[in-house]
Structure 1
Amino acid sequence: YTDIETCLTRLPEVSSDEEVAGGAIANWPRRLDMVPPRVSSGSIDGVTPEIFQEDIILWKKRISYYTTVNSQLGQPGRYRNLLDMNAFLGGFAASLVDDPLWVMNIVPVEAKADTLGAIYERGLIGTYQSWCEAMSTYPRTYDLIHADSVFTLYKDRCEMEDIMLEMDRILRPEGSVIIRDDVDLLVKIKRIAEGLNWESQIVDHEDGPLEREKLLFAVK
């Protein structure tokens, strides 16, 4: 058995009554692009303000590329409930802020950095999840599922078939999937997707065909 741990994080100490514990947060929607206090204070290992700013630029570039492959991603009303299985700083969700949709941002419990607090400070929603286990949600909850390096993260932890089955369970009929990962893993994932009767295709990385990371676009 594992001892129960404290589930609430203590706020940082303040020097005066006027100082905001944890750091001041800008009003919505400015807070989306402002460096979260947890990042600026160095509370998240390996995440700096420079990395945060680079992540904003990166995801705007990636979303722009996604829409060239799946034009429906930019159509209002096509997707409403989205899931990001490995959200990091919430860049995927932040880049879609102008669209009429919402994104559930998942920080895997196995991730190197605990970034959920920074996601909250950006004004986004999210939760923890281990993809070796079922997600606590109804079947057919999501219209689109995004998985960035999820199968690399769980390569030696659990079977990719089990993860794919859970994705199939929570994805509605005619829902879409975008998976970013190493090409060798995507080839195996594509075979599993075909077994689930998904229509799928593997396309090159936004930086060109020489990148080992590729993308799999699928429709249930």
Structure 2
Amino acid sequence: MNFLSLLPIAIALSLDSFGVGVTYGARRLRVPLGSLGIITLCTGLSLVIAVLIGDLLVALLSKELTESIGGFLLVAIGLYAVINHFKSQLQRSSKPLDYHANPTDRPGYHPPEHENLGVIPEILQDPMAADFDHSNSISLQEAFFLGLALSIDSFVAGVSIRLLGYSPWLIIFTIAMMSSIFLYIGIQTGIMIAGHRWLKQLPYFPSTMLIVIGLHKIF
């Protein structure tokens, strides 16, 4: 399996990072280079573990079965993302948010001393929840939690992509680097096009891509 055939999957996964970046750019939240490195490292480590699990399954199962499982996992990731984004939009529409009025009212707010892995689901629903101290900048510690949140999809996808037969190092390098690059591009894009309504539909595009690719692999 070569780089060109992996590219559409890597792009679909990276568009989630792009969407987070757009949110940060639109709200003028900075992600310093060091924090971006931490996010890349988290994604890379999750992919290493995913590839090892994928190798184990490849050794135990037939090629036809592993490809079907890999396609099914991609579809599952896409469907989960669609449902999660839809629920997030319903919550936001039912309760308008004002992030400047009272920071402690913001979903996902936790004082620094209460930071723990329990905040990850909140970051998945609202990327702004990663800015624990409301400094409008993602610190190294905050980047760790953000990196864990962003690497969840990458982990499951890493297992599924390995089952489809792609090279382990190609998976790790391509997805980890593209995720960080798309996050940075998303921030710059968010700064330029903040307020455009079509951005609200952006999260559904990568999810749909993963579902289509997964169904293609299954059938």
Give the structure with the higher percent strand: 1
TM-score by length of 1: 0.26
TM-score by length of 2: 0.26
Q: Which has the higher contact order (CA 8 A, sep 6+)?
A: 2
Give the structure with the higher percent helix: 2
